[in-house]
Each structure stands twice: as structure tokens, then as C-alpha cells.
Amino acid sequence: MPIRSIVIVGGGTAGWMAAAALVGRFERQPIKITVVESPEIRTVGVGEATVPGIRDFFRDLGVSEAEVMRASQGTVKLGIDFVDWSAPGESFFHPFGLYGAPSRGVAFHHFWQKARLAGERHPIGDYSLATAMAKANRFMPRLDKPSGDLGVFDWAVHFDAGRFAQFLAGYSTKRGVTHVEGMVRNVHRNGESGLITELELNDGRILAGDLFIDCSGFRALLIGQTMGERYVDWTDLLPCDRAVAIPCRGGPGPLTPYTRSTARAAGWQWRIPLQHRVGNGYVYSSRHLSDDEAVATLRGSLEGEPLAEPNMLRFTTGHRTRFWSGNCVALGLAAGFLEPLESTSITLIQTGIEKLIELFPDKSFQPALADEFNRTTILEYERIRDFLLLHYWANGRHGEPMWDECRTLALPDGLARKLSLFQARGKLVRYTWETFHDPSWISMYAGFGITPDRYDPLADFFSNEEVRDALWRMRETVNGLATAAPLHDQFIAANCAAAN
């Protein structure tokens, strides 16, 4: 009873990522893949910034980073610069890569903590190659000479989400995916099984299928309106429920290889540099700021001429109770939404596709497959939620109602346990289905001043003087490697400059 027809409702980033991945994985198999989307429905265009896992997606498709970046006006992302979060006037960097080097089975942050307690004041970012390159606006895709852990870094991309979707659409249709333009008017289900059987379009056309993938965005046409899967609301933990976006021309400065997140009075503002423009947006809490105030704040901070009118978005942070129901699987905004603070929207689409392929059903749609998909996806959402929540809970902005309220939030048990163990002795806890690894948590702890007064006693194998000398050598190595890298502008011009 093999699946022979897949219908994807909605294009955009989620729909075309699903189509591209599935047509590649099921090459030479008689499975018809159809994407139906309406030109009358505007896509949200989420995910202009990504995390390094997106490059695995490129490799699975058999395309290079440079190819994607040329098609989507892309740039390099080495991490995120957090401005005014820990306190007004202060900033820290969340890099993609390691900090320092371990020794004798002891993680580097314990040696850094030992040195800090002995009077050293160098920030932990001084031991990160990704951070050093980002600060210098430099980038190299790989080192010519291995440098141990000090040379370990990763990178992601910024891209125009609309152009990325167009690139994937071209990729998919060349490989046999059918593209149908039309608005879904009715969804028909089997009266006994409850499975979706076909879609009826406004013009009367019928699209039958075995497996239906809901990429219809916040409408959640299939998973919500048809299958009735309710929404789990996390607004009590993550307060922002609005966003306004305005692209603008880039300023006179260099093309920076990182995203910037700047805390504002009732939320935060993103800056995403692309080759042809800069993406800007203000994510905020409607309980603490009006839409007009948000637009005015964003307009007033643009570095160049605005290129479009404000795009207003309303959202509820959370997810569907089930992402896979019957023969319907939801991806992207139809499945749930976690604000773009750490660029996880596309990550959740990508991992959803990977899990669907791993658990791919036949026409019997065995419940155990959907149960496992739903279980692991909920865990993934919860882990990301907790990482985002840490940003709000640990903030150092005092006298602003939203931020003051965030510091009083009751933390979920998993996050509370992580914090207590780190504060006790720098112990890092890793759960299953964690999107962010230990270096990311270290960057948050250090950036917000969450540092324990104790460290691993095994670090005392080395004296304070030996640790101090080793840290000095690490800083020198990191600075030397960063200085040897070409400027980000030069790398883009030489390798992946867009034609238009």
C-alpha cells in the first residue's frame, strides 16, 4: 500500500522546502508530488536568517551554498549580536562555534571561570573564532591549516526568503513536481477513516492525494480547520505577539556577517544584511506597545531608505497539539510559531521534513508513526522555547514593564534544572532533541552574567599562572586566524555575488 501521491498545500519557504526534499529523496519512485498555492495569498516570508543546519539541507539537495546565495542575495551568518539585552549600552555575541580548547577532559569554560575568579577579565568571546571574524567583518569557509578546537566554527546564511522559495520552486519543478495555482475551496474527507481524500479548488478542479502536507501558514487550513487540531498557547512564557517588518537600503558601512538583535522598550529589533537590502523588524508585545508606536520606532531606526510599506504580523507563540493527524502533516507556520529571536523557523521546517522522511508511512498510516513524529516535535519545540525564554528571563533592562515582568516568569522545570546545575558548578545539561548545543548555552549564560562561583575541581590540575598563559596563547591564535580571513565583502564578491 505505498504512497503514490503527495499534495502540499501552500508554497512559500515551507512548501517548496518540502517539495524539493521529497522529490530528491523519492527519486525514481512513482510518487506524484503537487504543490498548490494561490497567488492571492501573500506568504509571510519568514526565515531570512538561518542556523548552520540549513547547509545540510543544501547538501541533501545537491546544491552549494554559493549557488543558493547567488540566487537569493545571500550573505554569511556567523552568529547573532545581542545589543542592549544584558543592560542598555552593553552587547554580547552568540557565535556558531566552540569557545577555547578543553584539557584533560575538562571543558574550556571551567578554565575560563577559574581565570575569572583569579582576576582575569577577558570576555569568553575572545576565545571564539566565529566571534572574532564577525567583529572584524571577515569570513573564510574553512581553515587552510588545522588549528585544533580553536579553529572550529560553523556558519549559516542570510537570504531573501521569497527568492529562496523561487529557487526551490525551480529546483523542484525541473525534477517533476507539479505546480498548481489555485485557492482551496473545500477539503473532502473519508466518512469512515477521517482521512483527507481530495481538495476542491475555487475553479472546480479536484486534487486527490494519499498524503497531504499543510504549509498554509497561520491559516492552518488542513491541520487546524479540517483536522481540528487545537493550538497550545505559550504567550504566558514568551510575551511578544506582534511584529512589523520594513526592508531598507543598506547604509555606508561594511556588509556584516551576522544578525543583530537589539532590545527595545517592549520587544526587540532584528537587522539582517543581504546583498541588495537590509531586513529590519520589530517584534513586540501588544500589551506594552501599540502598532503605531512600533512602526514609528522601526522607521526611526532604519539606516537607509525604506523599500516597502510596513508589513504587520500578528501571531500566537505555540504549536498544534498534533502536527501529524491522520494523513495530514503540518510544517512551518501551520504547525506552530516560535518568534525569530534565534532564527529557528526554517530549522523546524527542515527537521519536520527529515522526521517525515524517516517515518514515512504507507496508505495504512499506522498511528505509531504519527505518535513518534508528534512526540519528538513537541520536545523540539519545548527545547527551543526554553532557550528563547532564557533571553527574556535573564534580561538586565530595569524600569520597563515588559522586561520587568519577564524577570518574574516561572521557568519550566527543564530550564530551571539547567540553570540550577550551571549556577551550582558550571554543569551543562543536554536534553534529547536540543537544537542548541553547549556553546550556545554558554554564550547566553556568559552574556547575561550568569556565572557560577565554582568550577570543575579537575581544572586545578593547572595553576592559575598556567591557565593564564594558556588563555593568552588561545587569544593570540584566535586573533591570528581571524585576521588571516578575507573581508566578508570580498568573500561575497568573489564567490557568490548575485546577478541582480
The active-site residue, picked from 32, 77, 363, 427, is 77
d(CA 33, CA 23): 7
The answer to whether 77 is a known catalytic residue is yes
Strands (E), 159-258: 178-181, 184-189, 196-201, 206-208, 211-214, 231-233, 242-245
DSSP H helices in 160-290 = 161-174
The C-alpha atoms of residue 61 and residue 424 are separated, in whole angstroms, by: 45
CB 130 within 8 A of CB 153: yes
Q: How many CB atoms lie within 10 A of CB 421?
A: 14
Cell of 152: 572550529
- Give the integer Cα–Cα distance in Å for 142 and 152: 9
Closest CA to 327 of 361, 368, 373, 371: 361
Q: Contact 381/352 with Cβ under 8 angstroms?
A: no
Q: Which helix (H) or strand (E) holds 75?
A: strand 75-77
Q: Which residue has the cell 493550538?
A: 231
3-state secondary structure 93-146: EEECECCCCCECCECHHHHHHHHHHCCCCCCHHHHCHHHHHHHCCECCCCCCCC
Three-state DSSP at 184 gives strand
Q: Which residues are catalytic?
A: 77
